[in-house]
Amino acid sequence: MEFQTEELPSLEILIREISASYFSLKESKGTLEGDPKTKKNRKPGLKEAFFDEATKRQWSLAQKTFLSSIGAEEGAREEAARRNPGWLVISTSYDEDGVHVLLREDPKYKPFSYVDKKTEMVWSKQIASGQAEYDIEKLQEENHDLWIRVSKFERVPRDFEDIDPEDLAKIQDYIYPGPLQIKLATPRKAKAEELE
C-alpha cells in the first residue's frame, strides 16, 4: 500500500473536509454514505472525490502478461479482463504458445493511504474482492455432464461448498474472480513511523 505524506494541497483540503464530515457525522450516528435506507446524514461526493484524488496519485503501476487459452484476439482480451479484475488490457501479441495479453494495474483499483499529519489520522482507500463466480453457460456448452452435476434444480449453479471436490477441481477453468469493490476504511490513528 502506498502512503502519501508530502503536501498535496487538493488532497489535503479534501481530507480536512472528509475528516470534519466524518467526525461530525459520527457524533450524529451518520456516515459518509449515510443511512442506507433513508440516505439521511449523508455527505455526498466526499468519498468519491477521495477515491479520484487517490487514483491520480498512483505513479507506479505493475504490468504482467496473461497467456490466454482462447486463440482469437478479442476473446483473449475478454478472458484476460475477466480473470484479472483490477487490471487493464494494454495490448496483445501472438506466438506458438497462443495469445499473450499485456495487462497493467488499473490505478482506480490500487489501495492508497494518506497520512494527515495535522490530525495524525490515516485515511485509506481499500480494495475488496467480490464473491467468485463461474460461467455456467460456457460449462453447459463445453461439458454438459459436469454442468448437470454442479447445478441445482432448474440448473441454477450450486454454491462452491456444495460441489464434490473432484468436480470443483474440474470447473476451475470456468471460475472467475468476483468484481472488485472500493471502500473507504474507517480512519485510524497514525503510527509514529508514518508521521516521520
List the domain range (segments joined by +) for residue 103.
60-109
Residues 119, 37 share a domain: yes
**pLDDT in the model for residue 28:** 52
Look at the block and give the residue holding cell 487514483: 55
The model's pTM is 0.70
Phi, psi of 68 (to 5 degrees): -85, 145
**pLDDT in the model for residue 138:** 86
**pLDDT in the model for residue 8:** 46
Q: Which residues of the chain have pLDDT under 50?
A: 1-9, 30, 32-42
**pLDDT in the model for residue 25:** 53
Residues 96, 169 share a domain: no
**pLDDT in the model for residue 49:** 78
Q: Is residue 77 part of a domain?
A: yes
Q: Is residue 26 part of a domain?
A: yes
Residues 3, 54 share a domain: yes
Residues 96, 50 share a domain: no
Q: Is residue 1 part of a domain?
A: yes
Q: What is the Cα–Cα distance from 63 to 87, expressed in whole angstroms?
A: 9
Residues 97, 83 share a domain: yes
Q: What is the Cα–Cα distance from 59 to 56, expressed in whole angstroms?
A: 8
Q: Is residue 159 part of a domain?
A: yes
Residues 41, 31 share a domain: yes
**pLDDT in the model for residue 23:** 63
**pLDDT in the model for residue 43:** 54
Residues 75, 37 share a domain: no
Residues 80, 29 share a domain: no
Say how many domains are in the chain. Answer: 3
**pLDDT in the model for residue 186:** 85
Give the whole-number percent of the chain exceeding pLDDT 70.
81
pLDDT digits over 87-98, tens only? 999 999 988 888
Residues 85, 49 share a domain: no
Residues 117, 32 share a domain: yes
Residues 120, 82 share a domain: no
Pairing of β 112-116 and β 2-4: parallel
pLDDT digits over 29-54, tens only? 545 444 444 444 445 577 777 788 88
**pLDDT in the model for residue 88:** 95
Q: Note the Cα 28 to chain centre separation in Å.
A: 30
Residues 104, 52 share a domain: no
